[in-house]
Structure 1
Amino acid sequence: MAINKPQKVLPKRIASIDALRGFDMIWILGAQGIFLALFSLTSWPLFNTLNAQMLHSPWHGITAYDVIFPLFIFLSGMSLGLSAKPLSAYDADKQSQLIRKPIKRLLILCLLGVVYNHGWGQGMPTDIEQVRFASVLARIGIAGFIATLIVWYCQHKLQYTLFIGLLLGYYVLLEFVSIGGFGAGNYTSTGALNIWFDQHLLPGATYQNALVDPEGVLSNIGSVTNALAGLFVGRYFIHQFKSNRPIILPLSIIGVICLCLGYGLSAVMPINKTLWTSTFALVTIGYSVLLLVMFYWLIDVLNFKRLALFFTVIGMNAIVVYLASSIVDWQYIANSLFGGVVAGSPSQWQGVVSVFCLVFVQWLCLYFLYKRNIFIKI
């Protein structure tokens, strides 16, 4: 006689996902400065090495700071995989409501991205040609929008085929296609195919007036694969969880395979964040999966709830965190509240104390929203 195990009920929110999103965003709050401050305090080479990881790679290669953005897109895709169904599964009225939502979200994120680009006390230029329309928020919106359409209208097998097709197709495009003297295997900052697309199809200005924008037109292809990978992992996560099957080991193997593929193929196609090459996508997917495994093990398995709370407070209002980093002078607020504490600290410790005060002020504001169940989502 076969005895079926009772099926687990997936919680409304998986604590480790919100916590990982918060961990991802804390480096945007200013925590990335802690390693430089610790190096100034101790002169230990380890902290200098870690501080170098808190900077974007100059062109080819990857640092820890380069993983922040792809991880956020991956987690957005995972949220989609945990909840989304084919559009045909809904009645006609519900379909009409659902279709409007991702379009509205895409437009709002694009608009907020322009606001973010021209924050930092500068304001938006009056000359439309000086406005930077490409942005991190717009890329999040585009990747999420395309992933949503794929979930709605494509069967699972086709979704996997599209994922592989995007990775391979993007490689073929950059490696073999030449337009206007750009491309055909040229991955430099002056000759990549992406430059032609950004110069001819991207309105307004590019980031720092460079030839190619890090959130430009063509590189959206690579970022969509990060969203799709998150979608697949989210769906797999549900299946394994409800079937009482192991999650940690299979996902760890998937993460390692992606890293091996990304690094292994980097001799053919360089790992490059600005171009968001297929190898960059694979490597960042690998790191994203392994970080998810680590947080799931710590928080949902070992039940480290205090760790979860600290990061969840940030992760539940991630868009607010990012947008506020451009339009709010957090350093001024931190100095106004804790400037005396910093000044009263031993001189060698002032840099470290200053970083903690900066992050703490922002965390307190987010905790205020969290305690009142105010979660701003788009």
Structure 2
Amino acid sequence: MDQLAPKQRLLSLDVMRGATVAAMTLVNNPGDWGHIYAPLEHSEWNGCTPTDLIFPFFVFMVGVSTVFAMETKKADPANHGKMILGALRRMATLILISWAIQLFYHHTPFVHSLTHLRFPGVLQRIALVFFIGSVLYIKCTQRTRDWVMAGALIGYYIIMCFIPVPDGNPANLNPETNMGAWLDRLIFTTDHLWKSSKTWDPEGLLGTLPALGTGLFGIRVGSWLKRPDRENSVKVTWLFVYGVAAVVISLIWDLFFPINKALWTSSFVLYCGGLATIALAFTYWLIDVQGHQKYAWILVVFGMNAIAAFVWGDILQGVVDFIPTGTDMKMSTWLYQHGVAPFFTPYNASLVRAIIYVFLTWLPMVWLYKKKIYIKV
């Protein structure tokens, strides 16, 4: 989230967030979905590719930034009600933005678009985790949040692996027949789920429970970084220890509750949270402690306007496609087939097109950065 004034921000967090937004834009905009290098694809089911790390890293950083945004105000209980209302407003705004983006891309009558609107989604999950995590941060101690995180991860494991699905299926981790898929069909109906499936959703409602664990993981790390009674060397050392320990535990848990991004399994939470902690510890030491900041601005421009970059990167292709080509081909496809594909191998052409979209997303963020405009929600 973008709640912090520039002078209060943790530069390493902005760099890491910026890198995550850039990576997200890269993997979401290949020239040809049939020609993508393996690290830029999601795992088919179990397992974790570099692309699978992008979303949980972002959720983790929402947790970290919650601490830096709210720590001072939450010290006075008189502020709590206003802070919670502000978090609720931000949650609603993010959800509405996601639905607006969907409607922007629908080329059907408005009523038909609404009846087939996908209710879950990436921004929706970020919004829910942000709001619930904020309330827990404002009202609870760190020990209580640790217990909530443990309860969420263990409880999700029990629900998914041991409780029979009410439709008659045994507990299972298959895409269409697990407990989460059943719950999404019950609450949202198939008209409002992921369009590629319609029977389950990778950002479904039940998966928000372990995703909250990812956000609380970030809050714990942010609280550690904010401690004034620890030297930077001690902070960094223990962050590495914490991160490595989480990865080791996740790999053990993976033996019977597989690391799986679509299900957001508990092992996935610990695996990605551990790697995110290690990455932030390294970035924090390099940038904020050692002061290597000369080229940090290249990614900071994304990190300081993460939501703006997210939205612009999501709608950029739709904006390009408003330009007529005089044929049945969309402008984005025409530009790729005539301006990129003839000059590279299929895999490289697809990658080059994705890099171009990252650059076109980055340019407006540079302008905002130079004008000191930081878009909040």
TM-score by length of 2: 0.83
Which whole-Å CA distance do the structure 2 matches of 1:66 and 1:124 have between them? 34
Tell me how far 1:192 sits from its aligned partner. 0.8
**Alignment-derived partner of residue 326 in structure 2:** none
For 1:237, give the aligned amino acid. L
**Alignment-derived partner of residue 289 in structure 1:** 277
1:357-372 to 2 correspondences below 5 Å: 357-372=356-371
Distance 1:180-1:87 versus aligned 2 partners, 3 A rule? farther
Q: In the TM superposition, what whole-angstrom CA distance separates every residue of 1:140-190 from its partner, at most 9, and x where no partner exists?
A: 010011111111222222111111111111111111112324664410113
**Alignment-derived partner of residue 205 in structure 1:** 192
Distance 1:157-1:86 versus aligned 2 partners, 3 A rule? farther
Contact 1:241/1:247, CA 8 A, preserved across alignment: no
Tell me how far 1:56 sits from its aligned partner. 1.2
SS at match of 2:234: coil
Which whole-Å CA distance do the structure 1 matches of 2:82 and 2:202 have between them? 33
Which whole-Å CA distance do the structure 2 matches of 1:124 and 1:74 have between them? 38
Tell me how far 1:366 sits from its aligned partner. 0.7
**Alignment-derived partner of residue 157 in structure 2:** 171
Which whole-Å CA distance do the structure 1 matches of 2:52 and 2:316 have between them? 24
Tell me how far 1:194 sits from its aligned partner. 0.6
**Alignment-derived partner of residue 253 in structure 2:** 265
Q: In the TM superposition, what whole-angstrom CA distance separates every residue of 1:103-162 from its partner, at most 9, and x where no partner exists?
A: 111111111111233444646852343111111111101001111111122222211111
1:320-331 to 2 correspondences below 5 Å: 320-329=308-317
Contact 2:29/2:357, CA 8 A, preserved across alignment: no
For 1:202, give the aligned amino acid. F
For 2:134, give the aligned amino acid. T
Report whether the alignment pairs 1:153 with 2:152. Answer: no
Tell me how far 1:245 sits from its aligned partner. 4.8
Which whole-Å CA distance do the structure 2 matches of 1:31 and 1:186 have between them? 30
Tell me how far 1:269 sits from its aligned partner. 0.6
Equivalent pairs, count: 353
Contact 2:31/2:353, CA 8 A, preserved across alignment: no
Which whole-Å CA distance do the structure 2 matches of 1:297 and 1:261 have between them? 25
**Alignment-derived partner of residue 17 in structure 1:** 13
Q: In the TM superposition, what whole-angstrom CA distance separates every residue of 1:301-327 from its partner, at most 9, and x where no partner exists?
A: 343323311000011111111112232
For 1:105, give the aligned amino acid. R
Contact 2:48/2:260, CA 8 A, preserved across alignment: yes
For 1:179, give the aligned amino acid. V
Q: 2:289 aligns with which of 275, 288, 301?
A: 301
Tell me how far 1:84 sits from its aligned partner. 2.8
Distance 1:30-1:71 versus aligned 2 partners, 3 A rule? same
SS at match of 2:192: coil
1:57-136 to 2 correspondences below 5 Å: 57-85=43-71, 89-90=75-76, 92=78, 94-120=79-105, 122=107, 125-127=110-112, 128-136=114-122
Which whole-Å CA distance do the structure 2 matches of 1:86 and 1:22 have between them? 25
Distance 1:184-1:147 versus aligned 2 partners, 3 A rule? farther
SS at match of 2:254: helix
Tell me how far 1:293 sits from its aligned partner. 1.8
Contact 1:124/1:131, CA 8 A, preserved across alignment: no
Which whole-Å CA distance do the structure 2 matches of 1:143 and 1:180 have between them? 26
Contact 1:19/1:315, CA 8 A, preserved across alignment: yes
**Alignment-derived partner of residue 4 in structure 1:** none
Tell me how far 1:32 sits from its aligned partner. 7.2
For 1:363, give the aligned amino acid. W
Tell me how far 1:90 sits from its aligned partner. 2.2
Tell me how far 1:196 sits from its aligned partner. 1.3
Percent of matched pairs sharing the same residue: 27
**Alignment-derived partner of residue 140 in structure 1:** 126
SS at match of 1:239: coil
Which whole-Å CA distance do the structure 2 matches of 1:162 and 1:144 have between them? 15
Which whole-Å CA distance do the structure 2 matches of 1:35 and 1:249 have between them? 42
Distance 1:304-1:87 versus aligned 2 partners, 3 A rule? closer
Distance 1:120-1:303 versus aligned 2 partners, 3 A rule? farther
Report whether the alignment pairs 1:229 with 2:217. Answer: yes
Q: In the TM superposition, what whole-angstrom CA distance separates every residue of 1:37-73 from its partner, at most 9, and x where no partner exists?
A: xxx9xxxxxxx8xx21111112111111111111111
**Alignment-derived partner of residue 29 in structure 1:** 25
For 1:200, give the aligned amino acid. L
Distance 1:182-1:305 versus aligned 2 partners, 3 A rule? farther
CA RMSD of aligned residues (A): 3.2
The worse-fitting range, judged by mean Cα deviation, of 201-210 and 362-371 is 201-210
**Alignment-derived partner of residue 238 in structure 2:** 250
Which whole-Å CA distance do the structure 2 matches of 1:362 and 1:199 have between them? 35
